[in-house]
Structure 1
């Protein structure tokens, strides 16, 4: 029997958002970030204002969760614009994509607290 694996769907992580799309912003994913799946937690690089997957070991500002990407984007070789959730929404934590280094309940809770500071509630 053939085994199929399914990629995350756009917005499948979203439970609710504020009226009028005020939960969303268009952000720039930095070139070199690779293929970013919907639901990926990203951080903002302080120097450039661009976003990359949030990694706790980073020291460029991106170690702090700043948004959740809404749609798949390929930023392997160029910057790419994408809609992301930056405030006032509820998301399903089981559908978020986090860096592989975030693998303990404490690290997950820390990242969830960073999102909560933005008004993003992880359920």
Structure 2
């Protein structure tokens, strides 16, 4: 009997994208996920650390730049003990807001609304 492959439809790379800018690569950039960010799923909302320019999980209570949502992780990664280079959505994209992954600091719907407002300033629009 053949093996059955089961995939979580909310876990694949870029599963959150509705549409991207013409030429698609215009919407993406290579970014560095800061060491200590942990194991992150595709679709994790990220903030940009002001001092280093690296990215980490969006944290509405942060005071280092991560309190402002700036990107969405294209593919998962493990940045527990070292910096990791990954692709992120940084501009001009429509996304499925209901499938985005959120860090532990996002505890209310208002946090999500604030993050989506931040992302909208870069043309990342939640649907």
Q: Normalising by the residue count of structure 2, what TM-score does the alignment of the two structures yield?
A: 0.89
Identify the residue that residue 15 of structure 2 maps to in structure 1.
12
Partner Cα distance (1:26, 1:94) in 2: 24
Identify the residue that residue 88 of structure 2 maps to in structure 1.
84
Identify the residue that residue 3 of structure 2 maps to in structure 1.
none
Partner Cα distance (1:25, 1:53) in 2: 17
Identify the residue that residue 53 of structure 2 maps to in structure 1.
49
Partner Cα distance (1:73, 1:119) in 2: 24
Deviations 1:25-77 (A, max 9, x none): 00000011111110000000000000000101110011100000000111111
Partner of residue 64 from structure 1, selected from 65, 68, 74: 68
> How far is the alpha carbon of 1:103 from its aligned partner?
3.1
Moved more, 102-111 or 82-91: 102-111
User: Structure 2: where are the runs of 5+ without partners?
Assistant: 1-5
Q: Normalising by the residue count of structure 1, what TM-score does the alignment of the two structures yield?
A: 0.91
Partner of residue 38 from structure 2, selected from 34, 38, 47: 34
Tell me the number of residue pairs that the alignment of Structure 1 and Structure 2 aligns.
120
